[in-house]
Amino acid sequence: MPSPRTRRLLLDHQTITNRLAGWPLIEITGTAGMPPEIYRFTYHIKGLYVADNGEILERNLHVLEANLSLGYPRRAPQCRMLTPVFHPNFNESMACIGDFWAASEGLDDLVIRIGRMIAYQEYNTKSPLNGLAAKWAAQNVNLLPIDSRNIAPPLESSETTPPTSFTAAIVAAEPPGTRSPEQPDERSTEDPWSRKISIS
């Protein structure tokens, strides 16, 4: 009989494969192990990165590696971006998910949550991994989210999923005047990204 960890890995693989099947915004582009313990996900979502000359630019493709370590699911997966991303809750070696991880959360929900973070639909400027990105986000709320599409595949039923505790924590942690993902986009028809933005 498989161990509880092996059963969880099998369940995660089946769930995430079914949920992301045919979904154009997030795809599984690699796995290692049987059942998989390491995943590579490719996001076709608009996010930000810093170019060599210091400009903050959009990019439409992001790659994430998720390692389901021996402590999983009691411990959060070790997640890191393999492509550059400019976001308060990412640095070169990790994505900040541990504070909000619960063993009951599925890998599929986590991967979708990271997609929302890439798109700046969710971010926390109170305890950032990237202080410069946190400062930038606080000063450029009018540009956010970078990608306003629904990152999650549509549910089979018409019922809507209630906000997760992570989303509630993100919204509660935002400084006054910061727009939450639920607020309407009040941007004008002018493309704000037509103006060059640089990090000094």
The CA dihedral of 57, 185, 147, 167, to the nearest 10 degrees, is 120
Over residues 71-101, the pLDDT tens digits come to: 899 888 999 999 999 999 998 777 877 566 7
List the structure tokens of 34: 């049987």
Domain boundaries, the chain: 4-154
Please check the confidence at residue 102 and state whether its pLDDT lies above 90: no
Per 3-state DSSP, the chain is made up of helix, strand and coil in percentages (nearest 5) of 30, 20, 55
pLDDT band at 156 (very low <50, low <70, confident <90, very high): low
Query: What's residue 171's pLDDT?
Result: 38
Domain 4-154: top CATH class: alpha beta
